[in-house]
Structures are given as C-alpha cells and as structure tokens.
C-alpha cells in the first residue's frame, strides 16, 4: 500500500526542525536521541520480559502454545498485545529513520527482517521458543554489525557480506539445535 500511495517514490522534504531536533539531535549535546531511545526501549523490554508476568507468559507461549493455553494464559489476547507492541516499536523506528535520513524510503529496510532474526538467534534466543534474553539479543545484533563493518574496511563485496552473516546465522541455528537435543536427552 505504501508503494501505491507514493507511486513507488521515496517521500522527501521532511521538516528540518524534525530532523535537527529529533533525528540528528543530541541529549545534552552529547548522546544522539536514537541511542537514548534505543537504550530506553531495551531497558523497558528487559523489565517486561525478565521481571513481569507478561514476560513469563511470552516465554511460555513461545515454548508451547497449547501448554500455555492450558495453563490459563489468554493466548489470543497476549498475541494481540505482542503484535501491537511490535507495531508500535516499528512505528518508533520509522520515525527515527525518517528523522535521521530526511526521507521515507519504501525499500531501504527490506532486508531488516533477516537481520533481526539473525540478531536474536545469534544472541541465544531459540527459534523454537521458550528461551532468550535481551542481553543476548544485544550481543547478537552487534556481531553482524561488527562483521559488516570489518568487511567494509576490508573492501569485501556486499553480496559476500550477506553470505558471511548467513553462515553465522546457520551456525547459530545449528548450535541451538545441538543444545535442544542435549537437553532433551538429559
């Protein structure tokens, strides 16, 4: 719908005060606002997942949806809350992105889904649910970023950069599978 609405064109001419104040502005003239917002979102997410019933229900649903339902969790309501929260976070990221770059690009983030999955899996979150930590996801997000920065410095072609991140993701999924099998046997 965004492509149809904009005739496939990027939306430009973002107001300069929005860009300088929010996208490129800094808290106390030192810390960029996007970093402040990321830190706050990370802290709130950690508290929600690690210290509340909401987080416990989220992990329980990820481990086994039917067991969570039988344990009395209103799975439908909780899924709506999770999707609404993710939608709100996507909107927040979009606002930050438009503020930083001064344009709303339709295709600039088409590969971000794979990067997000890679970050959480590399960080130790199981694709099969029930396990994961915010701290692991942070480390998991930094590993591909550092890899890609190193590849840029080494002048590695972009398609090889994606191959390398894909290999790291495959290794992380394999390690996750080995851990699950070992836990099942024990």
3-class DSSP assignment, residue 31: strand
Both tokens assigned to 14: 């973002």
- Cα distances from 39 to residues 32, 42, 60, 61, in angstroms, run 11, 5, 26, 26
- By C-alpha distance, which of 138, 153, 147 is closest to 165? 147
**pLDDT of the residue at 2:** 67
Q: What is the pLDDT of residue 186?
A: 64
Is the pTM above the cut of 0.85? no
**Shortest CA distance to 39 belongs to which of 50, 51, 29, 27?**
27
CA 98 → CA 28, 40, 47, 87, distances in Å? Answer: 22, 19, 28, 16
Joined tokens for residue 130: 């029930």
Look at residue 81 in the predicted model and tell me its pLDDT. 95
- Which residues of the chain fall short of a pLDDT of 50? none
Write the CB contacts of 79 (distance below 8 Å, at least 6 apart in sequence).
61
3-state SS assignment for residue 109 = coil
């Amino acid at each position: 719908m965004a492509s149809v609405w904009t005739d496939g064109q990027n939306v430009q001419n973002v107001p300069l005060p929005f860009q300088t104040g929010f996208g490129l502005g800094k808290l106390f003239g030192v810390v960029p606002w996007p970093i402040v917002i990321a830190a706050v979102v990370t802290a709130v997410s950690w508290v929600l997942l690690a210290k509340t019933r909401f987080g416990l229900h989220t992990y329980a649903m990820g481990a086994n949806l039917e067991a969570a339902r039988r344990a009395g969790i209103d799975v439908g309501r909780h899924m709506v809350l999770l999707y609404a929260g993710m939608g709100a976070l996507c909107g927040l990221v979009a606002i930050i992105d438009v503020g930083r770059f001064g344009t709303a690009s339709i295709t600039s983030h088409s590969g971000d889904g794979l990067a997000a999955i890679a970050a959480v899996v590399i960080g130790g979150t199981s694709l099969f649910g029930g396990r994961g930590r915010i701290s692991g996801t942070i480390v998991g997000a930094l590993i591909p970023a550092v890899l890609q920065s190193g590849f840029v410095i080494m002048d590695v072609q972009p398609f090889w950069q994606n191959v390398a991140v894909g290999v790291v993701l495959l290794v992380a999924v394999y390690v996750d599978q080995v851990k699950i099998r070992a836990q099942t046997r024990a």
